[in-house]
Amino acid sequence: MLFRIQPFEKKILELIQLSAEELGFPVYIVGGYVRDRLLNRASKDLDIVCVGSGIELAKKLATHMRPTPRVTYYSRFGTAMLKHKDLEIEFVGARKESYRADSRKPLVENGTLEDDQNRRDFTINALAVSLNEKNYGEIVDPFNGLADLERRIVKTPLDPEKTFTDDPLRMLRAIRFATQLDFEIHPVTFEALGKYKNRISIISKERITTELSKIVGSSVPSIGFKYLFDTGLLEIIFPELYELRGVEVRNGIGHKDNFYHTIEVLDNVARATDNIWLRWAAIFHDIAKPATKRFDKEHGWTFHGHEVVGTYIAERVFKRMRLPLDAKLRYVQKMIRLHLRPIALTKEEVSDSAIRRLLFDAGEDIEDLMILCKADITSKNEKKVKRYLSNYEVVQQKLIEVEEKDQLRNWQPPISGELIMETFNLDPCRTVGDIKNAIREAILDGVIPNSYEEAHAFMLQKGKELNV
């Protein structure tokens, strides 16, 4: 393994070494930066541990840098941070930690490098590189983290019982690292995830969601969700997704396992886009199937209305997980609500009217919706998949043609409510809404073009019909 760094990083490390020497502090790089550089991965976070004061070291370094950077101090935690080009550099004094059973907040005292490495979550994150003159560049590896990097394994440095009971968030971090790095979780560590899963209850919703979002944002998020499912953690932190599991059979008719379908759709979306909120929409697109599942002899299994009920479940989960309750939630709800519409259009002769209505309802998010709908094709029947994808091409071509002709994306009605009131001398009332809706429906149905002149003439005709 080679430790690859950029020239500007080499320069800043030399300045850190100089600053530490002037203070008489032994100093080391630790954690994720070391791991990622050994894996030839990008890393923008540089963690520096010194046997002394991290705040003093940051202050001393700043005096050697031009221009002098702004240093942020966290006296309560004994840490400091500064930014240099693409790097965010954090400084801390070596410490050892102890925990109470009811809290993940440690009792902290000064310690040695060995103490600091002992408190790390995984062997691959406990690696340190010396910046001291006598052994500059030497890797300090007390837990065989280099071997675990080679074997692509996530493993706790100490007994996993201590690691996970001390700080249960590390259980989610184990799964997150395995997902991001495409590593295996060591069997003993994996067993402990299931054994101590209930300890996750002392972790705040925000911290859980942060780790979950990093799994959602990874290249193959299904890896993480399978680990969450298999360890029992998913049932605790995301019961709605866990409820999608399993296949029920009646009269010899079964439905697909909607949990595994959902994470396959998520992977499909992840291959197409980095849009984290479209990935969340993939997670929620079938979330209401357990609540809407019905069986009848004529149609077999049905999930009528799951696209509507799913929007309410999404809002409830967003609130609980402390996810944003703004335009991002509304976007996810729109994707859930509309995800069946393009699929329905592939099963019938596509009318201009149906295309107009889809464009009107999806607006600027139409491309994202089509990504989700294509991702939703998870059949193992290759002929069926090929047929659906071919039909989607027809729908997409039709979307382009209708959009060019009618310009309905982000559509604004050519006739406003104010103009209707002014024309017919009306106060705000139901009749104004009726006329406005009639104009919209006429445009969407292709009765009149999407133009002011045609819509104005239609408005006058509608007013006559309503005797206004």
For the chain, the domains span: 7-150, 417-465
The single-letter code of the amino acid at 373 is C
For 465, the token pair is 């019909």
What is the pLDDT averaged over residues 310-322?
98
Q: What angle do CA 353, 457, 360 make, to 5 degrees?
A: 30
Q: Above 80 in pLDDT, residue 6?
A: no
d(CA 193, CA 231): 6
Which stretch, 35-44, 258-267, 391-400, has highest mean pLDDT? Answer: 258-267
Q: Please give the share of the chain, as a percent, with pLDDT higher than 70.
A: 94
Q: What is the pLDDT of residues 65-116, one digit of tens each?
A: 988 999 999 888 889 999 988 889 999 999 876 656 665 566 667 888 998 8
Q: What is the CA radius of gyration of the chain?
A: 29
**What does the alpha-carbon distance between residue 139 and residue 44 come to, in Å, rounded to a whole number?**
20
Confidence of residue 63 (pLDDT cuts 50, 70, 90): very high
Fold of 7-150: Beta Polymerase; domain 2 (3.30.460)
In this predicted model, what pLDDT tens digit does every residue of 389-440 receive, in sequence order?
787 887 888 888 777 776 666 667 788 889 999 999 989 999 999 998 898 8
Strands 95-98 and 107-110: antiparallel
Q: How many CA atoms, within 13 angstroms, populate the side-chain half-sphere of residue 354?
A: 16
